[in-house]
Structure 1
Amino acid sequence: MRWLLALPFLFAAASVLQVAVLRFVDPPFSAFMVARQLEAWGAGEASFRVAYDWRDLRDISANLPVAMVAAEDQNFASHRGFDFKAIEKARINNAKGRRVRGASTVSQQVAKNLFLWQGRSWVRKGVEAWYTLLIELMWPKTRILEVYANIAEFGDGIYGAQAASRSYWRKDASRLSPAESARLAAVLPAPRRYSVARPGPFVQRRANWIQRQARQIGGSGYLQALD
C-alpha cells in the first residue's frame, strides 16, 4: 500500500528529471517514434526504419518553425502551454455541430509526441497536461519549437525537419523555402492521411493560408522576438 501511495510522487519526480534533462540533451527518439517502429515490426515489416535526424534550431530554416506556429498555435509566444481562448472557441464551434476541432498548442504537441502513447483517455489527457506544464516551466520557447520541429511527423515514419527535407526535396533543412515549409506544416493534422509529396486540394489551400499567416506573425523575425 505504501508503494502504491508513493507511485504518484515517484512519477512526478521522474518526469521532472526527464524534462529537466531534455532541456539540454537532444532526445534520441520520441514515444511516437518507438510506437511506430514497434507497429511496423508487429505487422511483419522487418525492413521498416523510422527516419529521424536531429538538427539544432539554428540549422533549420526559420521558415519551418514559423510555419508550424502559423498553422497550429499563433498565440504560442503569449500563452503558458494552454490557449484558453482557442479552447473556448473550439468548444463553441463543436457545440454548434460543426466539424470537431481541437485547440492543442505546440507545447501540448511536444508533450504528446515526446512522452505519451497514442489514443484518447482522461488519464492520457491528464499526463499530457502535466508534461505541458513542466515543459513550459523549464524550457524556453525556442527550445520547445526546436524539439517540435525535430519530432513532428511529416509522413509515415518521417520525423523532424531534416528527415522530411531529405525525403521530399533531397536537401538539408537549412534550405527549406517558405512554400516547402508551409506544405510540411499543412499535413500536421494527419501526416499519414495527407501527403507532402503529392498534396491534394486541402493541403494546397492550407499551405497557401499558412504562408499568409506566417508573414502576418512576422516571418523569420518571429523567432528573434520569442525569448
Structure 2
Amino acid sequence: MAQLALRILILLAAVPMGLSILYNMVDPASTLMLARWATGERVERIWLPIEQMPAALVRTVIASEDASFCHHWGVDFAEMRAALDKADELEDTRGASTIPMQVAKNLFLWPGRSFIRKAIEIPLAVWLDLVVSKRRLIEIYLNIAEWGPNGEFGVDAGARRAFGIPASMVNARQAALLAVMLPNPLRRDAGNPSPGVERLASRLQARVPREGPELVSCLGPMRP
C-alpha cells in the first residue's frame, strides 16, 4: 500500500512537471477553463501572442501583479514574509503571489485559498520559472487569467468585453483598468469602472512610467 501511494504521488508530481516543459511550445488552458468546458459553461479565449501585445499593457500588468517578476526565481520570499507578517488571514496575502505562482495555480491547481494549495503552488512556481522563459510565462499568464464574469479568459477577451477592441489596440489607460480587474474579475469591470476601480487604475497608470524599463528588462524586444 505504501509503495502504491508513493507511485501515485510521483505520478501526480510528474504530470505538471512534464506539462510545464510542453507549455513552452503548446498554448495551455487553465483548470478553470477546462472545468467550464466540462460542464458546458461559456469560455471565450483567443490566444494573443506577446508580439502583438502593446508594451504598455505588459508593463502595466506586471507592475500591478508582480513588480519583481524579472528579478525573482518564481517566488518572492521577501514579499511573502512581509505579507505574512501583516496578514491576519491567508486571504490577505495575495500581494505576495507572483506571476509564476498564479500561472502554477491556474494551470495545475484549484481555485480558492488554502495552505495546502499554497504549499504545492510554491515548488511548482519555482519549477515553471526554471523551465519556462520569463517572456513565455507572462504570455501564458496574460492568456489564461480570468478577465470577466462570464467565461472571459485572457487579455484579448477581457479587452473585447470591456472596450469592444482587441487587446492589441488598448492604450495606457485601458491597460491600467484591465490590470486592476485581475484580483477580482467577477466584480471589477474595466468597461464600467466604479470610482474605486478608477482610483486604482489612476495610481497604477502614474506608477508604470517610472518603473517601466525595469519591469520588462527580462522580456527582450517588445512592441511599442
Q: In structure 2, do the counterparts of structure 1 residues 7 and 128 end up closer, same or farther at CA, with 3 Å as the change threshold? A: same
Structure-to-structure mapping, 1:135-174, within 5 angstroms: 135-156=128-149, 157-174=151-168
Could you list the per-position Cα deviations for residues 136-174 of structure 1 after superposition, in whole angstroms to 9, with x for gaps in the alignment?
110111111000111111111111111112222222221
AA aligned opposite 2:164: R
Matched with 2:120 is: 127
Residue 34 (structure 1) shift: 2.4
Aligned residues: 216
TM-score normalised by the chain length of structure 1: 0.87
Q: Which runs of 5+ in 1 are unaligned?
A: none
Structure-to-structure mapping, 1:1-227, within 5 angstroms: 1=1, 2-27=3-28, 29-37=29-37, 41=39, 48-94=41-87, 100-102=92-94, 103-156=96-149, 157-218=151-212, 222-223=215-216, 225-226=218-219
Could you list the per-position Cα deviations for residues 173-219 of structure 1 after superposition, in whole angstroms to 9, with x for gaps in the alignment?
21111111110011111110211221112211111111122112126
8 A contact 1:64–1:149 mirrored in 2: no
SS at match of 1:100: helix
Q: In structure 2, do the counterparts of structure 1 residues 14 and 34 end up closer, same or farther at CA, with 3 Å as the change threshold? A: closer
AA aligned opposite 1:33: M
Residue 222 (structure 1) shift: 4.4
AA aligned opposite 2:68: N
Q: Which moved more, 1:99-108 or 1:135-144?
A: 99-108
Q: Identity of aligned pairs, percent?
A: 35
Q: Distance in 2 between matches of 1:191 and 1:209?
A: 19
Q: In structure 2, do the counterparts of structure 1 residues 92 and 13 end up closer, same or farther at CA, with 3 Å as the change threshold? A: closer
TM-score normalised by the chain length of structure 2: 0.88
Could you list the per-position Cα deviations for residues 110-141 of structure 1 after superposition, in whole angstroms to 9, with x for gaps in the alignment?
11112211123333222212321211110111
Q: Distance in 2 between matches of 1:222 and 1:121?
A: 29
Q: Distance in 1 between matches of 2:6 and 2:67?
A: 40
8 A contact 1:108–1:129 mirrored in 2: yes
Cα RMSD between the aligned structures? 2.1
Q: Distance in 2 between matches of 1:75 and 1:223?
A: 10
8 A contact 2:144–2:153 mirrored in 1: yes
Residue 225 (structure 1) shift: 4.3
Residue 92 (structure 1) shift: 2.7
